[in-house]
Amino acid sequence: MASKGQRFNNYSDELRNEIISKYISGIPSSRLEKEYNVPQRTIRNWKRKYISHPELYPGLGNKRGRTNESNLTKEDWKERYEILKKYQAFLKAQREKK
């Protein structure tokens, strides 16, 4: 909780985007903290906010591993369903072998 008279640091969008892109690419937050003099907790919060709302961070692109499921078509969902059915059959066969 903020205490009375506490001042907060303001970071530029460019700096924030640079730090997030490095953090997402695998550089540890402890290293980024020392390099940019930004607290680890702040870096982790920025990453969490980027993952939940990437549109707020222009210039970074979609660096998440998964596809945006709201853009999937009916055919995509059918394909996923078929893959899951095959995988379930495979697991069932593996269990029966034991």
pLDDT at 62: 53
pLDDT at 1: 67
83: number of CA atoms within 13 Å, CB side?
6
pLDDT at 60 over 70: no
Q: What is the overall mean pLDDT for the chain? A: 83
pLDDT at 65: 52
What mean pLDDT comes out for the span 16-34? 89
Most confident of 19-23, 43-47, 89-93: 89-93
> What are the tokens at 27?
């550089």
Every domain of the chain and the residues it spans: 13-64+71-97
